[in-house]
């Protein structure tokens, strides 16, 4: 078992779907523009989602953003070792959050 730290950075509710979509687009654009990692192709979560992965000297960080209806969520996880199971872990967590929306 690999040591992993999972942090739910934000779960925000908006008055409508357009507000959640706008927040999602703004955060995704910010992360990409400021080099928070390269985009990873993975299954879509919610109405839209994006996952970025960044290798660092002390591990690999994943940032997963998604929105569903009027809710925007951002989840971050850092792993010590690169492993295919890392992606499944963070997407699984996001899917659990999505089901509760």
Residue with tokens 């660092």: 56
pLDDT tens digit string along 6-24?
A: 787 889 999 999 999 999 9
- Asked if 99 and 73 touch (Cβ cutoff 8 Å), the reply is no
State pLDDT tens for residues 38-79: 999 999 999 999 999 999 888 899 999 999 999 999 999 988
Distances (CA, A) of 86 to 14, 23, 69: 30, 26, 26
User: pLDDT band for position 3 (50/70/90)?
Assistant: low
Tens of pLDDT, residue by residue over 20-37, are 999 999 999 999 999 999
For residue 61, give its domain range: 4-100
Q: Answer yes or no: is pLDDT of 101 > 70.
A: yes
The residue written with tokens 């654009």 in the block is 29
How many Å apart are CA 41 and CA 10, to the nearest integer? Answer: 22
Instruction: Give the count of domains, the chain.
Output: 1
């Amino acid at each position: 078992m690999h040591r992993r730290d999972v942090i739910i950075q934000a779960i925000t509710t908006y008055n409508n779907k357009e507000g959640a979509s706008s927040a999602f687009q703004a955060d995704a654009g910010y992360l990409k523009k400021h080099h928070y990692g390269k985009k990873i192709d993975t299954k879509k979560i919610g109405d839209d989602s994006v996952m970025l992965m960044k290798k660092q000297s002390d591990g690999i960080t994943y940032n997963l953003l998604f929105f569903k209806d009027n809710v925007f969520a951002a989840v971050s996880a850092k792993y010590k070792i690169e492993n295919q199971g890392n992606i499944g872990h963070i997407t699984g967590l996001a899917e659990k959050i999505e089901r509760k929306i």
